[in-house]
Chain A
Amino acid sequence: AQSVTQPDIHITVSEGASLELRCNYSYGATPYLFWYVQSPGQGLQLLLKYFSGDTLVQGIKGFEAEFKRSQSSFNLRKPSVHWSDAAEYFCAVGGGNTGTASKLTFGTGTRLQVTL
Chain B
Amino acid sequence: DAGVTQSPTHLIKTRGQQVTLRCSPKSGHDTVSWYQQALGQGPQFIFQYYEEEERQRGNFPDRFSGHQFPNYSSELNVNALLLGDSALYLCASSHRTEQYFGPGTRLTVT
Listed in ascending order, the chain A residues whose CB lies under 8 Å from chain B are 4, 32, 34, 36, 41-46, 49, 51, 90, 92, 94, 99-109
Contact = CB atoms under 8 A, between A and B. Distances in A.
A99 B94 CA distance: 12
Contacts of A99: 96-97
Contacts of B4: 43
Nearest to B50: A100
Given A43-B104, A44-B90, A90-B43, A104 B99 contact: yes
Interface string B67-102: 000000000000000000000001010111111111
A14 B49 CA distance: 43
A101 B42 contact: no
Contacts, number: 67
Given A44-B43, A103-B48, A109-B41, 17 more contacts: A42-B104, A43-B90, A43-B101, A43-B102, A45-B101, A46-B98, A51-B97, A90-B42, A99-B96, A100-B50, A101-B96, A102-B56, A103-B33, A104-B35, A104-B45, A105-B45, A107-B42
In the A-B complex, the 8 residue pairs with the smallest Cβ-Cβ separation, listed nearest first, are A106-B42, A101-B94, A44-B101, A103-B45, A43-B103, A43-B101, A43-B104, A108-B42
Contacts of A107: 42
